[in-house]
Amino acid sequence: MIEDLAVLLPFSQEVLWLGFAVFLRTGAMMAVLPAFGEQSVPLRLRLGLTLAFTLIVAPAVADGIGRPPETFVTYMGVLGPEVIVGLFFGLALRFFIFALQIAGAVAAQSTSLSQIFGGSAGVDAQPAIGRVLVIAGLALAALMGLHVQIATYMLHSYAMVPFGTLISAETVMMVGVKEVGRTFALGFTLAAPFVVASLIYNVTLGVINRAMPQLMVSFVGAPAITAGGLFLLFITAPVLLAVWIAAFGDFMANPFGGPG
């Protein structure tokens, strides 16, 4: 029996090596992914989800990982880049949540609702509008098959950056600038209706103040802009979320604009 187990020992070592190698990249991604990587998700649940994605990804990328290295230095040289690559790909998706947070902050500031804070899926509190947009966006992404998209995205990451390969600083800079620019562009696009409404409100308030200087227009206008902001959120939220989920889906279908 011991001889039979000895025959299986090399196989078990290869399986453990494969699982550990894939776990490093998927674990780094899961730490910052939308929905699965939120701070409000219990740590044990995130660990279980990481193991589940590892079991999904490992068989598909086994040929590209190969046998375990012989020395500790080689281990570190191979596994160290995996954590960096995982964080890089995970942050690319986290930027879409940042876009919702930017839109919520701009919308709240434009409608005098920035002082009303809600709970947060992350560490810092967000304006209530931002909280609503983030939760609605995460729920919509989950309903659209986020778990399947993320599994595909993880597999695609190995095609873009092979196992054990460190991303060059030039690539990180170029992709980072592009993704940050897209994040702010998407965030301000989503907040555009609130900015336009705020502009119209302030122009109208200025005209009234010029016509009736003795009237305290701020006391009259503050409730109006607050109620108007909430009503505007009610009628525009479905459209804003549709624009956001379309941008998110386009990215998942063709990450970083590379070949799909």
Chain segment 6-42, per-residue pLDDT in tens: 454 455 677 888 888 899 999 999 999 998 988 888 8
pTM, to two decimals:
0.84
Average pLDDT in the 135-162 region? Answer: 92
What pLDDT was estimated at residue 3? Answer: 54
CA distance 227 to 242: 24
Q: What is the distance in angstroms between the CA of the first residue and the CA of the last residue of the chain?
A: 50
Instruction: Give the mean pLDDT of the chain.
Output: 83
Helix (H, G, I), strand (E, B) or coil at 214: coil
Who has greater pLDDT, 135 or 3? 135
Nearest to 171 by CA among 78, 89, 75: 89
Interval 37-64: pLDDT, tens: 888 888 899 999 999 999 999 989 888 8
CA distance 20 to 57: 12
Q: Which residues contact 55 (CB under 8 A, 6 or more apart)?
A: 19
- Give the count of domains, the chain: 1
Who has greater pLDDT, 250 or 219? 250
Evaluate if residue 260 carries a pLDDT over 60.
no
CA angle 44, 152, 14 (to 5 degrees): 65
Question: Which two three-digit tokens encode residue 170?
Answer: 């030039």
Evaluate if residue 131 carries a pLDDT over 60.
yes
What pLDDT was estimated at residue 10? Answer: 56
Q: What is the dihedral of CA 112, 118, 120, 123, to 10 degrees?
A: 80
CA distance 104 to 154: 29
What pLDDT was estimated at residue 11? Answer: 56
> Counting beta carbons within 10 angstroms of the beta carbon of residue 28, is it exposed (0 to 12), middle (13 to 18) or buried (19 or more)?
buried
Evaluate if residue 191 carries a pLDDT over 50.
yes
What pLDDT was estimated at residue 76? Answer: 73
Query: Residue 29 is part of which domain span?
Result: 2-257
Interval 196-247: pLDDT, tens: 988 888 888 777 777 777 667 666 667 777 888 888 889 999 999 999 999 9
